[in-house]
Amino acid sequence: MDWEKIAQETSVKTDSKIILLVMDGLGGLPVQGKTELEAAQTPNLDNLAAKSVCGLTDPVFMGITPGSGPAHLSLFGYDPTKYILGRGILEALGVGVEVGRNDLVARGNFATLKAGLIVDRRAGRIPTSENEQICKKLNDSLKEVNAIKISFFPGKEHRFVIKFSGEGLSDALSDADPQKDGQPVVPTRALSPEAENSALMVNRTMEKATELLKDSPKANTVLLRGFSGCPSLPTLNELYKLNAAAVANYPMYKGLAKLVGMEVLDVGPEMPELFDAVEKHYKNHDFFYVHVKKTDSAGEDGNFEAKKKAIEETDGYIPRLLSLEPDVLVVTSDHSTPSLLKGHSWHPNPFLLFSKASMTDHVIRFSERECSHGYLGRFQAIYAMPLMLAHAGKLKKFGA
Amino acid sequence: MDWEKIAQETSVKTDSKIILLVMDGLGGLPVQGKTELEAAQTPNLDNLAAKSVCGLTDPVFMGITPGSGPAHLSLFGYDPTKYILGRGILEALGVGVEVGRNDLVARGNFATLKAGLIVDRRAGRIPTSENEQICKKLNDSLKEVNAIKISFFPGKEHRFVIKFSGEGLSDALSDADPQKDGQPVVPTRALSPEAENSALMVNRTMEKATELLKDSPKANTVLLRGFSGCPSLPTLNELYKLNAAAVANYPMYKGLAKLVGMEVLDVGPEMPELFDAVEKHYKNHDFFYVHVKKTDSAGEDGNFEAKKKAIEETDGYIPRLLSLEPDVLVVTSDHSTPSLLKGHSWHPNPFLLFSKASMTDHVIRFSERECSHGYLGRFQAIYAMPLMLAHAGKLKKFGA
């Protein structure tokens, strides 16, 4: 797939505007005959579907359930099997940690060490408030090791993220985690020669942290895994000459957007604030990635009704997006999260593209099964970006 | 994509016959609810669709608007992202210049030089007749430079094609064109060491041409860009054991066909002559590429009615093709040219395959939207060739 090369050759800067509305985890499965989207009252999305071209997308390929990272990369036009985002980086983005070119991050657990053995890898799932206190203590007392700056960021319960900042760091490091209880402490090992100094520094950091925590009853040591440097992705501007903005309430999606070079707009935690932000900044950008989280959260909770309500709530904002008169408006999701399965799934995403330059089809109801009859057919989500750019007049002819 | 390798291993020579009718730029967009093809009266194509298997093709991939080169290569079974045809070669083919293995071609502009600056890159868009006179003068006086044969071919207004013929030429040459007015003359540079002699020869040619034109008021120098050698493609015979014929009115398509090793039949400028030629030569070939240009020209002009009429005119010739009883008849286009957009577009092509060995589907009207419900679904145009060969019994089993 030469899409990146073709994109760089054919994309042109124009004044046209694209809005990509991602209803996270939108796709579902039938419960009593209807999916969440089919059960929801969505007059605005249905009206829009009637004037749009529809289809179904596979985030990676049929059968593959993607994490949020690959699912979004694909929607932004990046081959999700080529650009792999480490667990550490996703965890860091999820708690709002900024990761730069000289940073190394890892996922951490506070754990219980006894007589040289890790007896509880989760330190009895200490309360999040205790986690926050411990991280504060470590940040106050353990600022630097071997000239590398150290920062701890609390997550939920026993989880945290650690960031190492400095020159010459490598993420070619094995997990410093025995993976099960009752095993001895495992230091990290360098997986390539240039990671030797990083391994020494990480192990020294772990020893110092354990020393500082020695009087805690449960959380008296740390485990680290999923070491990741900052992934190097070409930006949306480099690939497509876009000046893109991300409009999202949650850190993970803001972080993903930043990785591909989007400007992350300042947005509060509620759904209306997403649409306020698009309106406020509409003149300053030519591409808006708008992320609605509620649909996915409700699906993860297995809450069919809550997901249906989240869909209906989002439907109410469609007229506000349309009143901006974007050249292209796409409504889709990154992956499916059927409440029936209480998690991400491999099922394809409904996809709708509204533009003056689009073929219209017979789809008059925005749903998984109606979209399967759309003119776009079933396609890999990586083609969403070429389709959006083409319909916005941002791709010139390929070849003579 | 291992298609080329699989084709060479599995294709067999048979007596069966394939006709590929390309209605250039056939796909359109709705105007007052109907596309050109939907608005046209096409009783013969509709009858044929009812007996055929249908689908939609993407010439390159979704969202990509192809030039005529990549769009045709794909239909002939060549990966259009692997075989790139330079601008110079397409321009040369377009004005009917034959390009052989020892030739180098480039696009040229006559331009106006004043006090060392290119003051008008288009020489005031001189009349085509003046262009023809200038080319004649240059061809008479500038036949050879450094043992390389030089030929000038007039195009429209200030445009021409130059062909260099001889041993050891390289197309690794930068454009000899300042790209905008008011800039000094730019000689070509060798982009790799083996192009050094070619660069010297090209610059010497430009100097000599400028010397010969010094008394012309406007067209007193030449600019050259898009240097291209003859692209090296495996032939249809090498890949598929086909003895293919091209039946086209326009030089560009004859040239493209010659690049893939087709025999170009002698055909006059009118549509009926295409079908006369197929009938006349029917026994001598096993693959006929028939190219109708009018549909594309009308689309490029933004003339919905003219495109509709061109479709209806072509429809009238379908019975003549059917009476030859080909084993496979495909009707499709290379790319879409919606009159709404007045140019090539990224929208998929309607595709119809008639053969005794094909599944039939429910499509009874040949149109973009009806074809989207066809049994073939939506697929990349590069699969048209394997489908044609298979339905004609020209591909044996792959593997045991």
Instruction: Going residue by residue through chain B, which has 400 residues, state the pLDDT in tens, using 9 for 90 and above.
Output: 589 999 999 999 999 999 999 999 999 999 999 999 999 999 999 999 999 999 999 999 999 999 999 999 999 999 999 998 888 888 888 888 988 889 999 999 999 999 999 999 999 999 999 999 999 999 999 999 999 999 999 998 999 999 999 999 999 999 999 989 999 999 999 999 999 999 999 999 999 999 999 999 999 999 999 999 988 899 999 999 999 999 999 988 999 999 999 999 999 999 999 999 999 999 999 999 999 999 999 999 999 999 999 999 999 999 999 999 999 999 999 999 999 999 999 999 999 999 999 999 999 999 999 999 999 999 999 999 999 999 999 999 999 8
Cβ of A387 and B62 within 8 Å? Answer: yes
pLDDT tens-digit profile of A318-334? 999 999 999 999 999 99
What pLDDT sits at residue A1?
57
pLDDT tens-digit profile of A170-184? 999 999 999 999 999
What pLDDT sits at residue B400?
84
Nearest-CA neighbor of B308 among B331, B339, B329? B339
Q: Name A370's bridge partners.
A: none
Phi, psi of A281 (to 5 degrees): -105, 10
- Residue among B63, B345, B369 whose CB faces A375 most closely: B369
Q: Which residues of A touch B86 (CB under 8 A)?
A: 400
Distance of alpha carbon A358 from alpha carbon A238, whole angstroms: 26
**Domain B3-85+232-391 classified CATH 3.40.720.10?**
yes
Residue ranges, CATH 3.30.70, chain A: 90-229
Q: Which residues of B touch A1 (CB under 8 A)?
A: 61
Task: Give ipTM to 2 decimals.
Answer: 0.89
CB-based burial, B158-179: b 16+ in 10 Å, e otherwise: bbbbbbbbbeebbbbbebbbbe
Q: Which residues of B touch A6 (CB under 8 A)?
A: 60, 64, 81
Contact A127, A217 (CB under 8 A): no
Q: Would the pLDDT of A354 be above 80?
A: yes
Nearest-CA neighbor of A109 among A226, A251, A230? A226
Q: Would the pLDDT of A253 be above 90?
A: yes
- Arithmetic mean of pLDDT over chain A: 96
Distance of alpha carbon A153 from alpha carbon A159, whole angstroms: 9
Distance of alpha carbon B311 from alpha carbon B42, whole angstroms: 8
DSSP label at A84? Answer: P
What pLDDT sits at residue A279?
98
Q: Name A395's bridge partners.
A: A11
Nearest-CA neighbor of B387 among B348, B359, B362, B361? B359
Handedness of CA B174, B175, B180, B186 (dihedral sign): positive
**Interface of chain A toward chain B, CB-CB under 8 angstroms:** 1-3, 6, 10, 357-362, 373, 375-377, 379, 383, 385-390, 395-400
Distance of alpha carbon A201 from alpha carbon A111, whole angstroms: 20
Q: Which residue has the tokens 């073709």?
A: A6
* Residue A287, H or E segment: strand A287-292
Q: Domain A90-229: which topology?
A: Alpha-Beta Plaits (3.30.70)
Distance of alpha carbon B182 from alpha carbon B116, whole angstroms: 9
B323 Cα distance to chain centroid: 28
> Helices marked H in A176-250 — which ranges?
196-212, 236-240
Q: Domain B100-229: which topology?
A: Alpha-Beta Plaits (3.30.70)
B211 Cα distance to chain centroid: 35
Describe the crossing of helices B3-10 and B384-391 by its angle, rounded to 10 degrees. 10
Distance of alpha carbon A21 from alpha carbon A280, whole angstroms: 16
Residue of A nearest to B84 (CA): A399
Nearest-CA neighbor of A221 among A142, A126, A141, A114? A114
Q: Domain A3-85+233-391: which topology?
A: Alkaline Phosphatase, subunit A (3.40.720)
For chain A, how big is the Rg over CA atoms in Å? Answer: 23
Contact A220, A207 (CB under 8 A): no
Phi, psi of A336 (to 5 degrees): -90, 150
Higher local confidence (pLDDT), B400 or A266: A266
What pLDDT sits at residue B299?
97
The whole-angstrom distance between B312's CA and the closest CA on chain A is 22
Q: Which residues of A touch B377 (CB under 8 A)?
A: 377
Residue ranges, CATH 3.40.720.10, chain B: 3-85+232-391
